[in-house]
Amino acid sequence: MAGPLPVSPLAQPMPELPPIAGVTLGVIEAGIRYKGRADLTMLEFAPGTTVAGVFTRNLCPGAPIDWCRAALKGGKARALVVNAGNANVFTGKAGRDATAATAEAAAKLVGCKPREVFLASTGVIGETLPHDRLTAALPALHSGLSPDRWPDAARGIMTTDTFPKAALRTATIGDATVTIAGIAKGSGMIAPDMATMLSFIATDAKIPAAALQSLLSKGVAKSFNCITVDSDTSTSDTVLLFATGQAKHPRIPAEGGAMLRDFARALDEVLLDLALQVARDGEGAQKLIQIDVIGAVSAKSAHRIAMAIANSPLVKTAIAGEDANWGRIVMAVGKSGEPADRDKLGIAVGGTWMAQEGGVVPGYDEAPVVAHMKGREVEITVDIGLGRGKARVWTCDLTHGYIDINGSYRS
């Protein structure tokens, strides 16, 4: 694409991320695709670091996804290498060779097994990754790793993102305070499960891999799998959580348990914070949209209905145009394939009920709805009227900016 993209009006300032004990990180310009910017990121972890991961369900995944799925079985991590600009997807044997060469080069620098090196790539699909440039840049990158380069890492993994994304929380385990810090990238090709979305989270807690995996999987279900920008599930989605074990706290059993209740709360907050930043940076986005579905026959049904609304181009363009066209929401509910009764349906925007029990609310005044839709954040509530199932998802509006960005992505 020609020139930098304007920063999303929904952007949030990046928080200061403190060093996480057992983590050093850094970036370098490897010339993989971009010129004049860092495009290669590396994190090194203390020996004994455990790891958990959640990946795309796209059936045409990139070579790094295959590599990470295999590596995850060991439960241990010593390094992470991420490149931006080339997704290493649909590249056959060349893609597999690139992952092996990268992991081997990083492992030699760190002093670990290649399967303790995790990999992620993001960018253009179908172009061979010039891994010779990548591996050539690794020694200098590794020698410059330090604990305080989280902001550089957040920027180094960006592609069409307009702002770096980071989140920070603390939690207690016993009497000890532990820290959780995370970064993410994502702007387009965003939909469960999960999105062109990379997210890397680190904590100084000492948590067994099985317990860590359970916490991450549950947290992703409530965050990254509840956002959509364009209904397109990327081939490269990766969320990795690393626990370095450097904090001093009571021993945690393999299954986790009640001792991790506050840690789970903090991790969920980090994941949701990052997920909403991705939605805020949706390509061309001008508005963040929260969709609540209540009264469905089940929570799963409510989620599917909410996602049908969130993925509807007609709903998203109506919101972009600040048009209080609730008929498009009715359409999206009906097309979801989930149980719905037209004569029991209720729809509200910004807390104002426009329709209830299948018809327009008597005396409905559109003015407060229009006023609400002029804001940067829009809330939609749909009452299905059939049960107690509920769900909440987030999306963004659909503007011409989305076409501008994706129509020239490779050029």
pLDDT, one tens digit per residue, over 216-270 is: 999 999 999 999 876 667 778 899 999 999 999 999 998 888 999 999 999 999 9
- Report DSSP state, residue 342: G
CA pair distance 26, 20, nearest whole angstrom: 14
Q: Of the listed 135, 179, 196, 203, which one is catalytic?
A: 196
- Phi (first) and psi of residue 325, to 5 degrees: -95, 85
Burial group, residue 64, by CB count within 10 angstroms (0-12, 13-18, 19+): buried
| C-alpha–C-alpha distance, residues 369 and 21, integer Å | 49
Assess whether 196 carries a catalytic annotation.
Answer: yes
Residues of the chain with pLDDT under 50: 1-2, 194-196
pLDDT value at residue 194: 46
Closest alpha carbon to 243 in 217, 207, 200: 207
| Cα separation, 279 vs 276, whole angstroms | 5
CA distance 310 to 291: 7
Q: Which residues pair with 349 in a beta bridge?
A: 352, 380
Amino acid at 85: G
Give the Cβ contact number of residue 143 at 10 Å. Answer: 10
Q: In terms of DSSP H, where are the helices of 223-298?
A: 261-280
Let me know how long the chain is.
411
Contact 281, 10 (CB under 8 A): yes
Give this prediction's pTM.
Answer: 0.93
Three-state DSSP at 364 gives coil
| Segment (H or E) for 164 | none
Q: Using an 8 Å Cβ cutoff, are 210 and 73 in contact? A: no
Give backbone dihedrals phi and psi of 177, rounded to 5 degrees, phi first. Answer: -100, 130
Task: Tell me the residue type at 312.
Answer: S
Contact 89, 236 (CB under 8 A): yes
Tokens standing for residue 300: 């799963």
